[in-house]
A and B are shown apart, each in its own frame.
Chain A
Amino acid sequence: MNDKDIAIVGMSCIFPGAKDLDAYWQNILNKTCSIKEAPEKRIDPVYFNSASEDIDRLYCSKGGFIDEYVDFDPVEFGLVPNSVKGTEPEQLLALKMTVRALEDAGVFEKNISLEKSGIIIGKAGFGGVETTKVHETIYSAESLVRLLKTLAPSLSNDEIYRIKKNFQQQTGHFGKQNVMGTVPNIVASLVANRLNLNGPAYVVDAACASSIIAIDNAVRELQSHRCDLMVAGAIHLGQTPAFWTVFSLLGAFSRSQVIRPFDKKADGVLPGEGCGFVVLSRLKDAINNDQRIYAVIKGSGLSSDGSAASLMSPAWQGQLKSIVNAWESSGLSYEQIGYIEAHGTATVIGDKTEAETLQKAFGTNNKLPFAGIGSVKSMIGHTMPAAGIAGVIKAAKAVYHGILPPTLNCDEPLEALIKSRFRPVKEAVEWAQTGLPTIAGVNAFGFGGSNSHIILEKFNHNSKPRKLFGFLEQAGENDQVLLLARKSKKELIDAIQGHSPEIGDGNYRIAIFNPTQKRKELAIRVIHKEIPWRNKQDIWYTHAPLLSNSQKVAFIFPGLDGPGLASIKSGNYNRLADYFGFKTLSGFNNPDGIKLIFDLDESCRLLDSALKMLGVEPDVVAGHSVGEWTACTAVGLVNEKITQIINNRVLKKKYEKPDAVFLAINSNISDLDSLLVQFPEIYLANDNCTNQFVVCGIRSNILSLQEKLNKMQVISNLLPFETGYHTPFSKKFEPEVSYTVNNIVQFEEPQYPLWSSITAKPYPKNPNDIKQLHIDFITKPVLFRELTKNLYNEGVRVFVQIGAGSVNGFIADTLKDKDISLVSAASNKREALSQLKRVLAALFVEGKPINTSFLGLAGSSRDKKYSTKKGLNTMLDLSLPFINYNKVFDQQIIEKIAGATNAVAAPDAVLNLYKRNLNDISFAQKEILQVLKQQNSTDGKPINLNELPLERTNMCTEQEISFELFPALKDHVPFRIRSSQTTLGHEGDACVPLTMFLELFMDVFSRHYPFLVISKIINIRVLQFLWVTKKLTVSITGKWIGSESICFEIENYASATLVTGEKNGQPPAPSLHIEKNLPVQVSVQDVYDKGYMFHGRAYQGIKQIEAYSSDMLTTSVEELQGKGSLLDTIGQTIGVQSHLSGRNIRAFPVAIKEIIFYGNPFDKNGLFQCTSRFIRDDDDFIYSNAELVKEGKTWCRVNDWQVRKSEIDAKIWQMMTNAEDYYISELFMGNVTLLDSNIYQRANTWFTLKNIYLSQAENSIYNSFSTSKQKEWLIGRIAAKDSVRKLILGKYGEKIHPACINIINDTSGKPIIQTEQNNHEGISVSIAHKNGLALASSSFDTETGVDIEEIKARDTGFTDLVLSEREKTLINPFIDKDEWLTRIWAAKEAFGKSTGKGLAGSPLNYEVSSIDGNLVTIGKTSVLTTRHNSYIIGWTC
């Protein structure tokens, strides 16, 4: 061993076809050629033209590319995710690959110091993609301004500025956050910065010789002992059209598009890209450190051709000099060469010169055995500055494994090579079999005559297992933290005192933020006590980690619990959102009355996502009060923002604010039992913890309670919100919650176990139970104390409070003597990001593997225990896309330019360009480039930079919806009254079809952006029907989300996201085919006439039923006058298909996942084939896919057209089609009808019934009621109408549609029947309600009365109130007294109603004269009393 020997101890690389070192070596051994056609996004095909002599046309289109391997996770390297965009990918990749090489060298495991280390990177100064984008942003944009001023002088400065801004939107992300991202030397400095290397860090550029020069310099740093460890390497990603033209113009590229180094047919090089890094240390140190040694660098040499040749052609004299330099300094003899990894570019002159050089250096002596030669360029192309490192890594692996590696495409070696000692290696050969020394030389000869050579020799290696990961302290950060884990108290204290930086392992664990000397002393005092110390003075310590076994971590979402809310500061959270690349929060702009709830919900979900992204996941999740809704969203039980949906609905209803206020009482609830019973109107809202609970009551009651508490010295505070949630005060909100859980949100399998604060138990599994729980949630108290105890018993030891609030305080109180750790993800003391670091530190101390790189600690991501699956890994973009001018110019501007260019008789380029083919982007691109080339220079005046419009503007349009504007809406009446008889002017209400909403959205969009193509509509949802009875105006809002998508909404009714972009390419062949055709029993006439579909003429788009199988249906359809009628036929086809296959549904779509357009969505002429296919169904929905096909080409494809299942039993189906013939109520006796509100659960079913039964006038009465009253009123009306209909049928044999009966109440509240038939006059009707049951009776001529009452035990007071002394004697003492008391009551009530006066003050006013069986006689009237379950029905028959 020589003192100067340098070892290669670690390597990493990415080359075409190889994502890492192993793949690279395997590809070499397998003789894999990874050269392919240039991907379009890298080099646009427009540039390829082998016939053209133009400087911007290329004759070669093949090369090596690495796009698929360039992923990068900023979090792993402690970078702000936001800074990735706009940073040259080579900077990021160099950082990542350096770390990989250091990992490979075991630097982190062995905890080898990086203090005296440096990095040298070979890299071409040719601008990379981001640098080019900066150039476009700064230079081309200004060129465009000048072009426009020349072409279209009529454009205002504002317009030109807007165009420029649009242009710059597409030229990258150049800005303050990444301004260093294009500075060339930063590629090395960033590595030094992130890894805290203190040695030299710089870039060298010597074209193809760069790599070996970098290694040569690194070797010197080590030999001089200036550094102890060096990283050297090279990177080349700049495969841009401009870079390629250099080689194309030189004629250096292969015309045959095959790279054949040293072959007689070789005709040029093919380009490649990639990067490689090697870790170097002095051989002695490498042996001492027990590192794997790939190879020993015996010597290296550098030289220049001087004036021996032209800049572009090589000379053997210069090349030879570099080889001689290397070998002379190596102490080896030339005979010892075993293999040459040649530069071997496959250019005629290059190969010939190199072969001559080799002859001169190593002789032509045929007495020595042939040595091997190869060039990896034959497999990956010429990776330019990284060519040398590709060769060095190949050669190092070759000597390390003792294998002579194969080369490709050298079938007939050049004469000059034959004369040398070297022969191409065609198959991998065991080095030992050749008898050659395991010594390799690598050549790298660059443009301009820069030459380099390096010699590698095999070392007898041995390797040892890896042990620990390392640690680097990051200076200068506010949140600097010391994390340490050791096996004993002494070791831990030593580690702190001895500044031992390694994180280590063991049960003695500490996290010290801001570890100054003074604070370290405090920490040592804490450790000495050996008592867990958590979250005090920003120090966490324990020697008994809580999570060392299978104990659990809970995420607890706080509700509105008071003081903590002050810490919700939007800036703080928005900085957090920026850091992780999340959307900034909308709720913070929301000035609503329940802003607090929204703010809390949004901020908590943000923290939750951030933690998950950092790899922290809960074992259990729960929420306190409204925090439970947030928890539901966070675990994925619901996909929507349920908190906002429910609260918005409650707000919209404009309920009177309950006068109820909350009072937080700091006492144990049981201590105050005797006080609280004095306040029956005050309810428990939250049982928070041992020493705090919250009650709710009307203000005056609460104030008097507080007065008493003050006297008892019990602290209590009024809380600043008045929802009344969790108490009977909010019972009126129940319908909104019920509607939400039944109709709006969908429940899905939660991803984490969720517990409820209402039941203190895990969430139920059954969807109906989940829905019920949400409804109960509104009126039932929060049992947080019990929940806390149950979670502890479940094994939860670490509680992470996800948001601002006091729940950790509650938990601390309830679990006062238990060993637990509490940490909050939000704090009013510090930035949200900083606080998340505390969460990670707390988890570390309790023994959980964490992502330490987020804490600024390197080395952690190599901790195998830490899962990186939720990192921020993203693919880097190596491409340089063209500007999409459709997004630069809007319609108005184009017209202006067109006018201007005509006026100045300019070449018609721009004008015709846009008129001819507005969507053809690449065409536009070319034309614009042409014009750019011809531009004249003109003076541009400075432009006012302020007050200029944004490029992507959101829109808000008022849209009238009326029969005048859309007369065809009269043909979209879902509950059409098909009666031939006269009606009350009522044929049913029209409603806006979903597809009409979509077309309205598209119309608004295309008015604003006529030249943007709508490629898809996604996330389509209908929230409720929009009924049209008179002229309405709705607001259509369009909000850009990102640059491609715009979310349209008609608030409360419908929303959909339009995705813009290029046309979806060639339409795919239709995918839905019916293989096995079944006979169809239904004709198109039936579809519309027999009521399968309700649609009138303008929406009867189905023309023919073509084919049917059990799950599919094909129809032919066309667009009619009805707005949205073409797309609506998809829904109709699905509806008919469902009907044919026995699923009776009314096909009202509630959501559609996506509609992808292949044809122009505005071109709806002609006949289409519509095929639907049933995909799946669940408890609530049916999902179908569909396609519209025109002339054999797919026009659009629909995925997941989602239809809500109505609970359509046969009865409702019949009602819908022929309401005259059927009844919903139970026909009881005589004309008495009974309807139980529990027969149908779904709100949707009741909605259907409402539409069938109510007249127009009744509808408006219905709508004026609160939701809770609506149903009760409706069942009464249905029962009454059924009774009346039966009465009329009995008397006249007439069937009457229920909506043709109108029931009004006279001033005394007595119901009056109205129909349009004269012979119906004089019908009397009586309606009674009890516990969700409605009872009705009707009669001609005589007054009828009906009543229903529950049989219950009554006290004597009640008896005395109802029965006279004489009546008491009528009741047989041996029968059920309660029942008979109820019978008499019901009889009296029914009688009272029949008189129109009710009970007239007292039941005693009407005396029962006799009881005969079930017949109770009052005066002259007999009242039949019938027992029905636990009720008595009384009816004056």
Chain B
Amino acid sequence: MKEQTEIFKKVKELITEVIGAEFIEEYTVEMESTLTGDLEMESIEIVELSEKIKKHYGGAVSFSEWMAKLSLEQLINLSIKDIVTYIEGCLQLK
């Protein structure tokens, strides 16, 4: 659980970098927030986020492969929790 909180903190930090610190405070970034819905992220911003996640976690988290397999519906409803859970799973495997 502690790990999950830390991953969330990190992901939130990376999202802030993508959206821009000047804007982020007007959004409520929570575990349940969806990227395209609540945070109004463009698909290209999500790609940017995945780049950042890749850089941070390195090869252990094959984020892009995971993303490529998501359906359109899943992409649209993608929440921070989904990402955190996925990263957590990868890290545990390691």
Chain B binds chain A: yes
Residue in contact with A809 in the complex, picked from B42, B64, B65, CB distance below 8 Å? B42
Contact B76 A563 (CB under 8 A): yes
Contact B26 A536 (CB under 8 A): yes
A:818-865 near B, CB below 8 Å: 828
Question: For residue B76, which residues in chain A have a CB less than 8 angstroms away from its CB?
Answer: 563, 566, 828
B75 at the interface (CB under 8 A from A): yes
Number of A-B contacts (CB under 8 A): 61
B33 at the interface (CB under 8 A from A): no
Tell me the complex Cα distance, A563–B75, Å: 9
Tell me the complex Cα distance, A1420–B64, Å: 70
| Given A563-B43, A713-B54, A717-B68, A533:B75 Cβ within 8 A | no
A:506-549 near B, CB below 8 Å: 522, 525-526, 529, 531, 533, 535-537
Q: Mark B50-72, 1 if CB is under 8 A from A, else 0.
A: 10001000010011110110001
A813 at the interface (CB under 8 A from B): yes
Tell me the complex Cα distance, A471–B48, Å: 42
Contact B68 A691 (CB under 8 A): no
A716 at the interface (CB under 8 A from B): yes
Contact A809 B44 (CB under 8 A): yes
Tell me the complex Cα distance, A557–B43, Å: 18
Tell me the complex Cα distance, A566–B44, Å: 17
Contact A710 B68 (CB under 8 A): yes
Contact A529 B22 (CB under 8 A): yes
CB distance from B33 to the nearest CB of A (A): 13
B47 at the interface (CB under 8 A from A): yes
| Given A522-B26, A536-B23, A713:B43 Cβ within 8 A | no
Tell me the complex Cα distance, A566–B74, Å: 13
**Looking at B26, B42, B43, B48, which has the most chain A CB atoms within 10 Å of its CB?**
B43
CB distance from B25 to the nearest CB of A (A): 8
Contact A715 B68 (CB under 8 A): yes
CB distance from B82 to the nearest CB of A (A): 15
A:691-739 near B, CB below 8 Å: 691-692, 706, 709-710, 713-717
A:789-811 near B, CB below 8 Å: 806, 808-810
Taking residues whose C-beta sits less than 8 angstroms from the other chain, chain B's interface range is 20 to 34
A666 at the interface (CB under 8 A from B): yes
B40 at the interface (CB under 8 A from A): yes
CB distance from B9 to the nearest CB of A (A): 22
CB distance from A820 to the nearest CB of B (A): 13
Tell me the complex Cα distance, A717–B40, Å: 21
Contact A710 B62 (CB under 8 A): yes
Residue in contact with B64 in the complex, picked from A715, A806, A808, CB distance below 8 Å? A715
Question: For residue A563, which residues in chain B have a CB less than 8 angstroms away from its CB?
Answer: 43, 72, 75-76
Contact A710 B64 (CB under 8 A): yes
Residue in contact with A536 in the complex, picked from B40, B64, B65, CB distance below 8 Å? B40
Contact B44 A706 (CB under 8 A): no
Question: For residue B22, which residues in chain A have a CB less than 8 angstroms away from its CB?
Answer: 529, 531
CB distance from B43 to the nearest CB of A (A): 5
Write the chain B residue with the least CB distance to A563.
Answer: B72
Q: Mark A201-215, 1 if CB is under 8 A from B, else 0.
A: 000000000000000
Contact A715 B48 (CB under 8 A): no
CB distance from B27 to the nearest CB of A (A): 8
| Given A563-B72, A715-B64, A716-B64, A526:B26 Cβ within 8 A | yes
Write the chain B residue with the least CB distance to A688.
Answer: B44
Tell me the complex Cα distance, A393–B80, Å: 69
Contact B47 A666 (CB under 8 A): yes
A689 at the interface (CB under 8 A from B): yes
Contact A813 B44 (CB under 8 A): yes
Contact B63 A713 (CB under 8 A): yes
Write the chain B residue with the least CB distance to A720.
Answer: B72
A812 at the interface (CB under 8 A from B): yes
CB distance from B46 to the nearest CB of A (A): 9
Tell me the complex Cα distance, A715–B26, Å: 29
Tell me the complex Cα distance, A549–B5, Å: 49
CB distance from A460 to the nearest CB of B (A): 56
Question: For residue A812, which residues in chain B have a CB less than 8 angstroms away from its CB?
Answer: 42, 44
Tell me the complex Cα distance, A169–B63, Å: 62
Residue in contact with A537 in the complex, picked from B26, B43, B59, CB distance below 8 Å? B26
Question: For residue B62, which residues in chain A have a CB less than 8 angstroms away from its CB?
Answer: 710, 713
Question: For residue A808, which residues in chain B have a CB less than 8 angstroms away from its CB?
Answer: 42
Question: For residue A566, which residues in chain B have a CB less than 8 angstroms away from its CB?
Answer: 72, 76
Tell me the complex Cα distance, A710–B59, Å: 11
Question: For residue B48, which residues in chain A have a CB less than 8 angstroms away from its CB?
Answer: 691
Contact A716 B44 (CB under 8 A): no
CB distance from A787 to the nearest CB of B (A): 16
CB distance from B39 to the nearest CB of A (A): 9
CB distance from A811 to the nearest CB of B (A): 9
Tell me the complex Cα distance, A716–B65, Å: 8
Contact B67 A713 (CB under 8 A): no
Tell me the complex Cα distance, A806–B45, Å: 12
A:1203-1249 near B, CB below 8 Å: none
| Given A713-B54, A715-B50, A537:B40 Cβ within 8 A | yes
Tell me the complex Cα distance, A920–B3, Å: 89
Question: For residue A717, which residues in chain B have a CB less than 8 angstroms away from its CB?
Answer: 68
**Looking at B44, B67, B76, which has the most chain A CB atoms within 10 Å of its CB?**
B44
Tell me the complex Cα distance, A525–B48, Å: 27
Question: For residue B50, which residues in chain A have a CB less than 8 angstroms away from its CB?
Answer: 666, 715
**Looking at B47, B50, B54, which has the most chain A CB atoms within 10 Å of its CB?**
B47
**Looking at A526, A535, A715, A808, which has the most chain B CB atoms within 10 Å of its CB?**
A715
Tell me the complex Cα distance, A282–B47, Å: 65
Contact B54 A716 (CB under 8 A): no
Question: For residue B65, which residues in chain A have a CB less than 8 angstroms away from its CB?
Answer: 710, 713
Q: Mark A941-974, 1 if CB is under 8 A from B, else 0.
A: 0000000000000000000000000000000000
Tell me the complex Cα distance, A691–B48, Å: 9
Tell me the complex Cα distance, A535–B41, Å: 11
Q: Mark A881-892, 1 if CB is under 8 A from B, else 0.
A: 000000000000
CB distance from B41 to the nearest CB of A (A): 10
Tell me the complex Cα distance, A535–B68, Å: 28
CB distance from A536 to the nearest CB of B (A): 6
Question: For residue A666, which residues in chain B have a CB less than 8 angstroms away from its CB?
Answer: 47, 50, 64
Contact B68 A689 (CB under 8 A): no
Tell me the complex Cα distance, A689–B43, Å: 12
Question: For residue A529, which residues in chain B have a CB less than 8 angstroms away from its CB?
Answer: 22
Tell me the complex Cα distance, A666–B44, Å: 8
Contact A691 B44 (CB under 8 A): yes
Contact B26 A713 (CB under 8 A): no
CB distance from B49 to the nearest CB of A (A): 11
Write the chain A residue with the least CB distance to B47.
Answer: A666
Write the chain B residue with the least CB distance to A561.
Answer: B43
Question: For residue A522, which residues in chain B have a CB less than 8 angstroms away from its CB?
Answer: 26
Contact B26 A692 (CB under 8 A): no
CB distance from A628 to the nearest CB of B (A): 21
Contact A715 B47 (CB under 8 A): yes
Q: Mark B9-36, 1 if CB is under 8 A from A, else 0.
A: 0000000000000110011000000000
| 18 pairs of residues in contact across A and B, judged by CB atoms under 8 Å | A525-B26, A526-B26, A529-B22, A531-B23, A563-B75, A666-B47, A666-B64, A692-B47, A706-B68, A713-B54, A713-B64, A714-B64, A715-B63, A715-B64, A716-B64, A808-B42, A809-B44, A812-B44
Question: Which are the 9 A-B pairs with shortest beta-carbon distances?
Answer: A715-B64, A813-B44, A710-B65, A666-B47, A809-B44, A809-B42, A713-B54, A713-B64, A715-B67
Can you name 14 extra interface pairs (CB under 8 A) apart from A525-B26, A529-B22, A692-B47?
Answer: A526-B26, A536-B23, A536-B26, A536-B40, A563-B43, A689-B44, A692-B44, A713-B59, A714-B64, A715-B50, A715-B63, A716-B64, A809-B42, A813-B44
